[in-house]
């Protein structure tokens, strides 16, 4: 139990540092970006619930993908955030974006950040 918690905390940290780094426009804003992300709290438990309910049927139990459903586990959190935000805005950039737009519409900003860390770190 304790071990799982420590491991999870470490993974969250790695995940959001990567995310904050790639989102920071320059070194000056890096600290702010990190602080904001911290406050948002990367809620891996909530992300797991959403993933089990609304994502894994298509993207696979380990977000590994299958045929026309892309793998998510091999991507970076920032990449996942960007895609989910674009789908949520209704943007079609792939042959099957319509399938994603309806799912992304229900996600909040913090759902998106948490999911991005969850799908890229939980199945390593
Ligand atoms: C009905 C099946 C389905 C469900 C459910 C679904 N997806 Fe997708 N997802 C897809 C398909 C198909 C694509 C490729 C869409 C395209 O062509 O633009 C995709 C693309 C994506 C991408 C972009 C990946 C890339 O490499 O470009 C992300 C991120 C993503 N999904 C996350 C999620 C998350 C998070 C959930 C749960 C909230 C979810 N998906 C639920 C089918 C699904």
Q: Is 57 in the pocket of ligand 1 (CB under 6 A)?
A: yes
Q: What is the rounded average pLDDT for all residues in the chain? A: 80
Note the pLDDT tens digit of each residue in 74-99. 999 999 999 999 999 999 999 999 99
Domain 2-121 part of CATH 2.40.160.150: no
Residue 41 has pLDDT above 80, yes or no: no
CA of 91 to the centre of ligand 1 (A): 13
- Please answer whether residues 94 and 83 qualify as being in contact, where contact means their C-beta atoms are separated by less than 8 angstroms: no
How many of the other CB atoms lie within 10 Å of CB of 80? 22
Residue 101 has pLDDT above 60, yes or no: yes
Enumerate the domain spans of the chain. Answer: 2-121
Q: pTM for this structure? A: 0.78
Closest ligand 1 atom to residue 68 Cα is 12
Sign of CA dihedral 36, 109, 60, 45: positive
Average pLDDT over residues 24-34: 52
């Amino acid at each position: 139990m304790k071990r799982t918690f420590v491991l999870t905390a470490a993974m969250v940290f790695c995940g959001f540092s990567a995310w904050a780094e790639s989102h920071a426009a320059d070194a000056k804003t890096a600290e702010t970006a990190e602080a904001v992300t911290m406050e948002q709290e990367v809620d891996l438990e909530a992300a797991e619930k959403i993933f089990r309910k609304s994502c894994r049927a298509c993207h696979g139990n380990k977000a590994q993908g299958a045929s026309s459903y892309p793998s998510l586990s091999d991507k970076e959190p920032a990449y996942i955030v960007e895609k989910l935000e674009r789908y949520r805005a209704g943007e079609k950039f792939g042959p099957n974006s319509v399938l994603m737009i309806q799912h992304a519409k229900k996600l909040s900003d913090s759902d998106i950040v948490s999911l991005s860390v969850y799908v890229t770190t939980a199945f390593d």
